[in-house]
Amino acid sequence: MNTTVKNWYIVGVMDGRQLIGEVLYATVQHDQTFRFFEGDYVTTSRIVSMDIGAQQVITSSHSQYQLIGKGKKAIIDLDDFELLRHGFSPEQIRTLNSSSPLLAH
């Protein structure tokens, strides 16, 4: 595998009720491609092949990821995808969306 990751999520990206696709969001443990440092987060391109039993994911950009440990599933709205790409975890995005908006006085 090219990149080994931990603390991973399979994230479904939704546009309303329509599933656009799934991506992997995770923390890099080791990267043979030298694109990432240990501890970096990664949000992948769309997942095209996934074998949870073998703990492997392949993305549309042909990147291969080895999943370490148990992961989680999450769903985010397409409007929040840029937050995911900028390093916010699905749990942080959920917290941001559930907090009350600031009111102008």
Domain boundaries, the chain: 3-96
pLDDT per residue, tens digit, the chain (105 aa), is: 689 999 999 999 999 999 999 999 999 999 998 899 999 999 999 999 999 899 999 999 999 999 999 999 999 999 999 999 999 999 999 999 887 666 555
Do the beta carbons of residue 65 and residue 47 sit within 8 Å? no
**Which 3 state secondary structure label does DSSP give 78?**
helix
Do the beta carbons of residue 95 and residue 88 sit within 8 Å? no
Q: Which two tokens stand for residue 83?
A: 């937050």
Q: Which two tokens stand for residue 26?
A: 């995770």
